[in-house]
Amino acid sequence: MCGGPFAGKAGPGDGTMTTASRTARNAGATSGKGRDVAAALRIGVIGGSIAGCAVAVAGSRAGADVTVYERSGAELQDRGFGIVIPPPLHAELVGSGYLDTDMPTAPVGTRVWLTREPGGRSARELARQPSPVTPCNWGLLWRSLRASAGSVRYLRGQPVASVRVDAAGRAVITSARGEEPYDMVVGADGHASATRRLLAPVLRPEPAPYLVWRGAIPLGALAGHPRELDLLRGAWVTLGFPGGHGIFYLIPGGPQDGDGSTGPGNRLLAYAVYGRPPGGAEPGPYVQELAKEHFPAAWADIVARGGRRATACHPVADVQAPRVARPPLLLAGDAAGVTRPHTATGAVKALQDALCLERVLREGPDPATALERYADERTAAGAKLVELGRRMGRALVEEVPDWPAMGQEEVDVWFRGVLAGTWHYLYEDPGKAAGPAVAIASAGPTASAASAVRRPEPDAGSEATVSG
């Protein structure tokens, strides 16, 4: 799931620190034995989005010299879709200096399940569940991470042509700047990662049989719907319908939204609607027809007011690298694995990847060992998320329940079955799960090396064409 003036903060490309407090935190972060391991390291990062900026902060905090290659020449903070992160993870990122304390968020503590009343156009509440989340604006999150990476070289408008491993075991990045060797290269180049091909040459994303429509629209779209707005002030909403569901929640607006402030008065309504358009229908605008046919009248009107320009239509797919690191290469964020969006872990996983990388670099005893530890932990965590996302997709889109027949107890029991004993931060208490829970949204260790699928090491001289 993904404002205000940032006076005094560095712009995304000027390479300066933003506040004295961040400088002090980052300076302190590089002390200790971890700095001895990483201090001589040169790390190249392909991709300057959330994952790329987060791992750049991680490497810098561990004492490494970091260069980020971002192919886009534009400032990425304009991408204002909504995402959510767990409150404990947000607190950890703020406390450790990855994020500013003043980055706007829109926290809520409850999930409300709705559906349309049978034979009518009003909404019926099915259930409420405790579900503390910290919704963020994608662009504001990126900007905060980028500012925290102020000491990092961030090369905007610098696509990477290729990456290869040379005879000395170094990773060599080729770009318009020429060839540059690195002790470690992080592929943070997104869901269609070309860097991934060096570790898993034949791996490709597996599509789901449905689409997602995402949007972020001004709160003016809720004019005339005070009940819905009041609900969204304290909860995020799931609206079930035959063949899918929709998610609605508030996120902070950016400087270009509302009154441009960082306060609760500047909000956007973020939404994601999952479903399958009928054959022959134009996928993009179909969400308007879907909402009109299946949503309660107020929610259909809200989606319609957003208009087609406010909505982006995406295919849904998932993929997981069988091993997310092999010295000197490492994958982070969507490059390492893509989960279906129901898990709300795209940005979360990227941030956890960064925290893990910083920790293993600190622990040492050498970079190769650090990357193997990273691979052990993050490969297993990603695989669990992919599996959970598929179960959630089946339950919420492909094989939906009879929504109108459900109430609080039925929703709790049904979703305990979907989770199948897997703990996830969105579902703090959907009832007592049978058996020990498997945590998949913590930043700590999640598996041993024995649980990870291993692939042959990249050979010296192997090469992939990459666009960072």
Closest CA to 302 of 378, 227, 223, 412: 223
Domain boundary among 262, 295, 317: 317
Is residue 416, in this structure, part of any structural domain at all?
Answer: no
Residues spanned by the domain of 264: 108-137+207-317
The number of folded domains in the chain is 2
181 within some domain: yes
Pick the last residue of a domain from 317, 336, 355: 317
Q: How far is CA 251 from the centre of its chain?
A: 15
In a domain, 397, yes or no: no
CATH number at residue 153: 3.50.50.60
53 and 197 housed in the same domain? yes
My answer on whether 125 and 148 are in the same domain is no
Residue 309 lies in a domain: yes
Q: Answer for the pair 52, 46: CB distance below 8 angstroms, yes or no.
A: yes
**Domain check: are 283 and 262 in the same one?**
yes
Question: Would you state the pLDDT for residue 58?
Answer: 98
Same domain, 311 and 330: no
Residues 282 and 133 in one domain: yes
In this structure, the answer to whether residues 118 and 93 fall within a common structural domain is no
The CATH number assigned to the domain holding 251 equals 3.30.9.60
**If DSSP states are collapsed to H, E and C, what string results for the chain?**
CCCCCCCCCCCCCCCCCCCHHHHHHHHHHCCCHHHHHHCCCEEEEECCCHHHHHHHHHHHHCCCEEEEEECCCCCHHHCCCEEEECHHHHHHHHHCCCCCCCCCCCCEEEEEEEEECCCCCCEEEEEEEEEEEEEEEHHHHHHHHHHHCCCCEEEECCCEEEEEECCCCCEEEEECCEEEEECEEEECCCCCCCCHHHHCCCCCCEEEEEEEEEEEEEHHHHCCCHHHHHHHHHEEEEEEECCEEEEEEEEECCCCCCCCCCCCCCEEEEEEEEECCCCCCCHHHHHHHHHHHHCCHHHHHHHHHHCHHHEEEEEEEEEECCCCEECCEEECHHHCEECCHHHCCHHHHHHHHHHHHHHHHHHCCCHHHHHHHHHHHHHHHHHHHHHHHHHHHHHHHHCCCCHHHCCHHHHHHHHHHHHCCEECCCCCCCCCCCCCCEECCCCCCCCCHHHCCCCCCCCCCCEEECCC
**Based on the domain organization, do 153 and 68 belong to the same domain?**
yes
Same domain for 175 and 47? yes
The answer to whether 440 touches 160, Cβ cutoff 8 Å, is: no
User: Rounded to whole angstroms, how far apart are CA atoms 97 and 427?
Assistant: 27
Give the C-alpha separation, 1 to 318, whole Å.
Answer: 16
The answer to whether residue 425 sits within a structural domain is no
> Does any domain span residue 443?
no
The reply to whether 150 falls in a domain is: yes
User: Do 40 and 82 fall into the same domain?
Assistant: yes
Rounded to whole angstroms, the Cα distance separating 112 from 216 reads 19
Tell whether 88 and 49 lie within a shared domain.
yes
Asked if residues 427 and 362 have their Cβ atoms less than 8 Å apart, the reply is no
Asked if residues 19 and 40 have their Cβ atoms less than 8 Å apart, the reply is no
Domain shared by 309 and 282, yes or no = yes
pLDDT in 10s for each residue of the chain, 468 residues: 433 221 222 333 333 333 333 443 444 444 444 455 666 799 999 999 999 999 999 999 999 999 999 998 777 655 568 999 999 999 999 999 999 999 999 999 999 999 999 999 999 999 999 999 999 999 999 999 999 998 899 999 999 999 999 999 999 999 999 999 999 999 999 999 999 999 999 999 999 999 999 999 888 889 899 999 999 999 999 999 999 999 999 999 987 776 667 677 789 999 999 999 988 788 888 999 999 999 999 999 999 987 766 788 999 999 999 999 999 999 999 999 999 999 999 999 999 999 999 999 999 899 999 999 999 999 999 999 999 999 999 999 999 999 999 999 999 999 999 999 888 888 865 444 333 333 444 433 333 322 233 333 444 444 554 444
Tokens, residue 26: 């980052």
Is residue 430 situated within a structural domain?
no
34 shares its domain with 120 = no
Q: pTM of the entire structure?
A: 0.84
Q: Which of 296, 317, 338 is the last residue of a domain?
A: 317
